[in-house]
Amino acid sequence: MAGWTVAPTDFVNAQEAAPQVVVAKPLVRDVTDRDEFIGRFRAAEQVDIRSRVGGYLQSIAFTDGQLVKEGDELFKVDQRPFVTALSQAKASLAAANAGLTYAQAQFDRVNALVKSGSQTVATLDDRRRELDSAQANLQGSQASVDRAELDMTYSRIVAPLSGRIDRHMISVGNLVTADQTVLTSIVMLDPIDFYFDIDERRLLSYAETARKNGSVLQSGGGGLKVSVKLGDRDGTTYNGTLDFAENQVDAATGTLRARARFANPDFVLQPGLFGRVELEGSNSYKAILIPDEAISSDQDERVVFVVGKDNVVSTKAIRPGPKIDGYRVVRSGLDGSESLVVKGVVRVRPGVKVDPKEITLPPENEDPVESAPLTAVNAE
């Protein structure tokens, strides 16, 4: 009977290649915690432009939105009524001068006659009264001239400070009411202020730092350095100094409003812009820093993957803290000697053997593992 002959076949299980990962040791260095608040920029100085005299607007000497310097002419009110008033005041002054000259001559003449006995003392008293009245008239006339000249000066409205001007609120030919009609406004842009609210807990820490610097938070801000980032994509940081805080905590919110001042020579920062300000929130201490990419979640814990002996991965629970220089501070769980998986975290799990590629983290985390790309390993 013929039978089937079966050749033995060796079945070989292909062993999956170890996943490639990028590993690095945490950074260990002295750092200072930084607290973050939100706030808005405001002009360091702002003024509404009004006319001190009434009349019809004659001219506008600026372009809406331009930068102006202190003393630049902005508006002019029709000066003809003020020219007439000044001429009338000067005429009254001339008449008062003539009256004083005549009264002085009369007094001198009667005074001489009284000494010789040809005139009575009562007549001399009358001439003295007339002289005093003429002097008072002269002073009043001079005051009228000064007032007319002042009104003449006020009819030319100039910028009280340097900054960026708003649009003109009324057009040429409109009636301007003295001290009431708002013609435009000017905001100072350099320097510029940033206002934000500090909560009670952190307020006490900042106040202590200010005292150590020989100052107080309300006056001078203790010289605390701050930085602000705007809402734009490039994340540019602007550096300034805390220089003022209000004198009492708001009972409704439990916060204290503080002010930081920034140089703004290029006028990039504008009043009303929203920003995030950072302040030093602690004294210097030694911290362990890791990139956020190295942190994973395990239920309600934050964990990192540690590459140990024989390149086997295990997990360690950590307590993360604030972010400094692009890295996350680890409050507890690491001692800084571990080799952590910083790229390729999704490829590993506890107990898996990996093919590690070690790098050194840069001092500031812009993209520390970008220069160490992973190559996918295909199993045959």
Per residue in 239-298, pLDDT (tens digit) is 998 888 888 888 888 888 989 999 999 888 999 999 988 887 656 678 889 998 889 988
pLDDT in tens, 198-211: 888 778 777 777 77
pLDDT in tens, 121-141: 888 888 889 889 999 999 999
Domains of the chain: 20-31+286-359 (2.40.420.20), 33-45+191-284 (2.40.30.170), 52-180 (2.40.50.100)
Instruction: Give CB contacts under 8 A, 24+ apart, made by 237-240.
Output: 238/262, 238/268, 238/269, 240/194
The DSSP line for 171-218 is -TT-EE-TTT-EEEEEE--SSEEEEEEEEHHHHHHHHHHHHHTTSBTT
Of the pLDDT bands very low, low, confident and very high (cuts 50, 70, 90), residue 221 is low
Q: How far apart are CA 89 and CA 140, in angstroms?
A: 10
Of the pLDDT bands very low, low, confident and very high (cuts 50, 70, 90), residue 93 is very high
Q: What is the pTM of this model?
A: 0.64
